[in-house]
Structure 1
Amino acid sequence: MSRRSSGLMSIWAEAQRQQQRQQEARQRALTQQQREQERQQRAHERDLARQDRERRQAYRQAREAEARRRTEELDARMTALESLLSAGCGAPGFRTSALERPERLEPFNPGHLGQPVPMPDPNAYRGFGNRAQYEHDWHAAQAAEAQRQQQLAAYRQQYDQWAAATLADIRRHNAGIGETITALREGDPDAVVEYFSAALYASTAWPDEFPHQIAAAYDPGARQLVLDWELPGFGIVPEIKSVRYMPTADEEKETARPVTQRRNAYRDVLAQCVLLAVRELFAADEFGILESVALNGFVDDHDPATGHRAQIVLASLTVGRSVFSGLRLEQVSAVDCLVDGLGGQLSARPDQLAAVRPGRVPGDVGRGVVSHGGGDDPDLFEMDPIEFEELVAELFRARGMRAVMTTRSNDGGVDVEALDPDPISGGRIIVQVKRYRKTVPPTAVRDLFGTVQGAGANKGVLVTTSGFGPGSYAFANGKPLTLVSGEELVDLLAQHGLRGRLGGGSPRPARGSGGAASSGEDRPEDRPETHNVLGMSWSGQVALDVCALVCDGGRVLSDDHFVFYNNPRTPDGSVRALEPTLADKAALRVAFEELPAAADRLVLVAAIDPEVNPEADLSQFTDARIRLADATGAELGQLEVSDGRPGETALVLGSFRRRANGDWDFVLGGQGYPGGLEALVQEYGIEVA
């Protein structure tokens, strides 16, 4: 007899099955989660491996690109040396007109002072009680206009004085050049030597690293110029032929240029230098003064026979105009032309300083020998301090002034006092002399201005063997101060028959940090950064974008040389945007020495930010100035810039312009644009889509 189930067992069994299914589901979920984690881990490891491979590949490509760049530079240098003569023959000949200074002055630009103050419109004051407000605003506008006219007249008078003095200086210089040209036409030996020396120095055919030392004399009877001309040393030919990156050793492998190849290349360079120098001399002879040239090419090195420093002649050539003019120099083999074609001499082993017998030397002419660039001119750095000050005083006398040195025990910061007799631009001049190797600090310029004011002088002149930074020119701007750099000083001495040079084969004075002369060179790790910081500030709450354009004349070098919010730096990093300090509203970092050689000005502009203030104009841009600081943040000076005007949304604040000696000077702007930044940059050659 069967017993009937109560159903409890089936309930229990079903519960067990449910529990089992839940446990299996949890186990499956855990297993799936572990598998997903393992999959993600494997994917992460693959991604890391891929990134590592990409980093290694990018690193290798960068090292290979650097090796290629170095090899390309070596190839380009060799190509330039091989084509020295052919490239030089394409340069125009030097002319006497190059010695003259054009009578071209910067035109008068009144800036914002040229805009009359707008008078209030009476129609805008209709209504009860507005008459008094109108009269108040009208009188205020009249007072502002009177002040503007007074400032404009003073600014114009200052400009006229500057223009008259500058034009008189240019005309004095050109009158002296005219006398030299007259003497040159008459075959005066001194004038002939000075002119043809200038022709060699001014030639653009010589690479920058080539030496420029010359000793010359002129034989008027034979109409022959005899000169010793310095040639480059053996190191001008690269010792390395190519560079290749070795990934296994993670280093660059340099392949040396074979010695025979270097020696042959060096002989070819020497021959090209001699032929090119003769070509430059004949090409510059616009009056037919030279019948022939006798040139000895030498290197300034240690004589292997004595160990002493000496001028070792490695090439010599005497050639007449008629013979030389029949050559096609662009097609010749320089060595064959010099030795076989013209019968000149060329060292067989110039790398070992094997000398040749020179032809006629300047001392054989029997007249005064004029030398430039070598040890014959007194080194201004090594000259006795009193002699140096006397030389500067003599320079002022040569310019038609009366100049005396002050008593050193009580000179009050004055080294030379000069009196310019010109009734218009003349007066008492205070001269300070700074024999520095590094850039003159702005404090010296400030001290000179204080001395000029204290002495009641008309003008102050600071003469140095070094140079000046933008801070010095910024402070001197608009004041009766003239800054004469070392290179300008040497040029002025040469123009007035005085002699002086800046060192003997040592580098030119460095621009970038203040300090007095020292006997040794700075080590790279000791040299401070030489960039400047330009901090902009202004009154008013209008939001502005401050931008910079690196230009050649009135055209920006490229779109990449326009620094603004979408392009915060130039390709070379010489100009870049900075986060402003608390004292500024905008800032730029500028390394003036690193600006491209093709650039002659850095233009600073400000424009309304259309996203922040779409309806604003520059009427709220007032009390603006540029704070010039050095790399440490120390303020060097302040540059005042034009206020904004109603209706304009972009403004040229001013521009730093490269002087002939490489220094940078600030010129006030003021040109406004109602079309904003877009209209402004279009005028500088940037296409806006």
Structure 2
Amino acid sequence: MSRRTRGYVGIWAEMQRQRQRQLEAEERQRRQEARQARAYERRAAQSYREYKQAEAIRRTEELDARVAALQGLLASGCRASAFLPSALMRGEELQSLAEVMDGVARREPDAVVEYFSAALYTSTAWPEGFPRRVAMTYDPAARQLVLDWELPAGDVVPQSKYVRYMYAADQYRETPRPVGQRRALYKEVVAQCMLLVLHELFTADESGALESVALNGFVDGHDPTTGRPDRIFLATVMAERSSFRELHLAQVDAESCLADALRGQVSARPDQLVAVRPGRRPEEVGHRVTTHGDDEEPDLYEMDPIAFEGLVAELFEAMGMRAVTTQRSNDGGVDVHALDPTPIRGGQIVVQVKRYRNTVPPTAVRDLYGTVQDAGANKGVLVTTSGFGPGSHTFANGKPLELIAGNELVDLLRRHGLRGRLGEGGRPGSAPPLAPPPEPSLPDEYNILGMSWTGSVALDVCALVCRGNRILTDDHFVFYNNPRTPDGSVRTLPATAPDKAAICASFDTLPGDADRLVLVAAVDPEVNPDADLSGFTDACIRLLDPSLTELGRLRVSDGRPHETALVLGSFRRRANGDWDFVVGGRGYSGGLEELLRDYGVEVD
């Protein structure tokens, strides 16, 4: 039997949340004012280019700071103040608090759960935006607290590693963080969260109510055997008070401590939602299970259109701009007007909002560009609940446009203290949002196609999964803004010397209706806006196995003057299922856009 308490936990939690938000808001304001002062002095002496480069460095430093905070989660959490209920209560509430404490001393399950729920919910050890959803009960005979605690999802680890400013295009480009780094850091975060929950509970236990804690950490997902929405358990541990008190948490390796010292278990691949078998569950104890933290975030798909536009305007306000929504009629294709007061880079911004479930077509991006020109704005921003295809990214490249997809929107909302989710994925036991799926793991069998060439020209090497000379879908164009196909059978990889670019391909798992994998190279207009392919010579493709052992070399055509894109060649599926390589050689003077149009990608 479950129930949702409406007692003092809610009061304590809300008071503590408000206090923490106020402190964090004051700190953000202080940092923002300091940054603005430094930026103003810097811009007075620097050129526009130098300022933009400095901004790229600042954004990179912000990514580094987020990673450092995740790496030091346990150590900083252990330094947070211990739970003191009396410090959170007003004088007239102390009598009620005393009643709760008396119940804890008598080992009453409801009082014990109320008290330790408050300890978790009022803690300042957790970063803003981390989930605090729990199902908890107490076994008085064993003096054991049993709980399921929600862990942060894998996207808590920043997807980007650093940001660089491309002067020729006047744009920033984010370099993805290697998959292995994201995977390792997320596993470390899961282990740290488990240890921090135990630390919070045992530290708050002044009356000795806890002999042990049975803790299961979960995220929302799907049961792989039934496909039904369910909690996916990524870690579990049963910790004795006596054993836990001997640990020096600020110095431990979280994964080793949880697995070896406490004999717990962490998923081998939490980023892929590989589940572990949970230990004792709250519903198995025989006492009532209390839940907290199920307050639902608003579903962005179902919000009133005017409310949704208001939320986007509120987000821009939270980011330090002035923003207002437009009238419903005669708005000229603008949903939100924003003004960035930052000198040099700031100015008028027009914002369009698209509550789509399917990919935004390139026509919407072209329409926004026309609106920016008509309004004389400095920038246009298109915000959507879905995503964008390569045609949209290609059109926006080099233009004063910014595209914000659904997942990025949710992340921005949470980072600035606002709330929103995509579809049913924000509800316990519900379907996931209609958003890109987590990155699939590498297949058992795959090859690495390493590309090398002489010459200093900077190239983007891309892949297209086709049937004949037509791409299957826009999502089957693999490049830096779309680093893998939906099924993960083709993806970009960091190159290993002597290669300058690399593509991973699992030919056995390519879609059944695909019969070609086309490799192309194009001049990077951001790095070499005036270059052509005359410097692309001595090019070859190295066929490698997963251990990077070279299996063979495939020669490709050299580039020619006045051409800025080139078909290197294509792997073609034969009737018997084998794949042969056919050298390309066709060049394009109109760059990657012209090449893509030939293969059916919608590009303006």
TM-score interval, smaller chain: 0.3 to 0.5
Give the helix-richer structure, 1 or 2: 1
- Return the structure number with greater relative CO, CA threshold 8 A, min gap 6: 2
Larger radius of gyration: 1
